[in-house]
Each structure stands twice: as C-alpha cells, then as structure tokens.
C-alpha cells in the first residue's frame, strides 16, 4: 500500500520539523523539500500509469500527438510551480511565491499558444 | 528511496542545536555561528543534489525539454 507509506512519511517529517522548529528553524525547510521530493518519487508509478492511459486514449481517438504532449507539459509546469511556490510560502516568502506563480502562468500561456493558433486556423477554415 | 536522508538531516539539525547551545553557554558565540553555518552548508549540499535529480525526473516524466 503506497498510500500508507506516503501518510507515514508525512507524519514522520512533520513531527521531526516540529521538534527542530524550536531548536534550529533553519533546517526545517530542507526536511520539507526532501519530503516533497520523496512523496513525488512514490507517486511516479501512478503518474506513469495515468499518462500511458491518456496516451492510449488519444491514440485511439486519433488526436494530434502535439496536443497531448502540450497538455502533459502544462501539467508538469503546473506541478513544479505549485511545488516551488508552496515551499516559498511555507518559509514565509509570500512575494517570491507570487512571482513564481506568475512565471508559471506565463510559461503555461506560452505553451498553449500553438493550440490557440490552431483554434483560430480552424475557425477561419470553417468560416466562409 | 532514501527516506533515511530525512532522518540524517534532522539528526544533523539536532546535533548542531546541541553543540550550538554548549558553545553559546561556554561563551564562544562566534564558533557557535560558524558551526550552524557549516551544518546548513552540508545539508544544503545534500538537498541541492536531490533537487537536481528531482528536476531531471520531472523533465523526463512530463517531456519538458
């Protein structure tokens, strides 16, 4: 059971962080970074399963492979931006977290540009 | 899976905390500060390695080249 491992990992790291917070608060941020990374490693097999399923579905529906990879990239950017901004927020740096989120939104927009262009092309084709 | 890395970092933190208290009590404040700094640098080295591997994995998984 992966979920039990993940919950146990979270509880252990939280208790370690609580112990360390009163002694040396500088070390708590590293423990929380490592915990996030380890939880992600535990989630990789599930991620791979879901991605394979989505890829299979998009192959069956005869979708353009470009769109699927763009979608995947957007999910990845959203995940990594959330990871970083939550870490900054935990450490009390709200302004840096906001800037990371802004950068993430902008890069997602840039990734989505070809799809928007394709939509406009389609509309122009449909219109007489 | 290296869950013991978390325990290692927490252990380094606690050892530095204890040594910091001892050094501060015996009147060597500047050594206590240097000790904390060294502990943070060691932990940062480990964590930066892990973060770089993590980013590589994310790049591969989400095809973010």
For position B1, what pLDDT does the model report?
61
Helix (H) / strand (E) element for B61: namely: helix B29-61
Is A75–B7 a contact, with Cβ atoms under 8 angstroms apart? no
The DSSP code sequence of A8-48 is HHHHHHHHHHHHHHHH-GGGHHHHHHHHHHHHHHHHHHHHH
Residue spans of the domains in chain A: they are 64-128
Interface test with B, best of A4, A26, A107 (most B CBs within 10 A): A26
For chain B, what is the domain count? 1
Of A35, A51, A76, the CB nearest to B58: A76
Percent of chain A with pLDDT over 90: 55
Is B61–A30 a contact, with Cβ atoms under 8 angstroms apart? no
pLDDT digit string, tens, across residues A2-54:
899 999 999 999 999 999 888 888 889 999 999 999 998 998 899 899 989 98
Res. A62 pLDDT band, cuts 50 70 90: confident
Nearest to B36 by CA among B25, B46, B21, B47: B21
Work out the number of other CB atoms within 10 angstroms of the CB of residue A95. 8
On the question of pLDDT at B62 being above 90, the answer is no
For range A62-82, the mean pLDDT: 88
- Check residue B26 and report its DSSP letter: T
ipTM of this complex: 0.85
Res. A127 pLDDT band, cuts 50 70 90: confident
State the residue range of the domain holding B17.
4-61
């Amino acid at each position: 059971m992966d979920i039990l491992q993940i919950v146990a990992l979270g509880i252990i790291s939280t208790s370690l962080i609580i112990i360390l917070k009163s002694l040396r608060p500088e070390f708590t941020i590293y423990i929380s970074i490592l915990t996030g990374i380890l939880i992600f490693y535990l989630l990789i097999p599930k991620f791979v399963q879901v991605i394979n399923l989505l890829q299979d579905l998009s192959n069956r529906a005869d979708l353009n492979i470009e769109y699927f990879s763009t979608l995947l990239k957007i999910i990845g950017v959203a995940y990594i931006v959330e990871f970083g901004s939550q870490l900054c927020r935990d450490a009390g740096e709200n302004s840096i977290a906001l800037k990371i989120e802004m950068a993430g939104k902008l890069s997602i927009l840039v990734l989505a540009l070809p799809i928007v262009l394709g939509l406009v092309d389609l509309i122009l084709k449909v219109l007489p | 899976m290296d869950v013991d890395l978390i325990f290692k970092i927490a252990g380094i933190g606690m050892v530095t905390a204890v040594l910091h208290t001892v050094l501060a009590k015996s009147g060597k404040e500047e050594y206590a500060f240097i000790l904390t700094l060294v502990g943070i640098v060691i932990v940062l080295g480990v964590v930066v390695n892990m973060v770089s591997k993590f980013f590589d994995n994310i790049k591969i998984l989400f095809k973010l080249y």
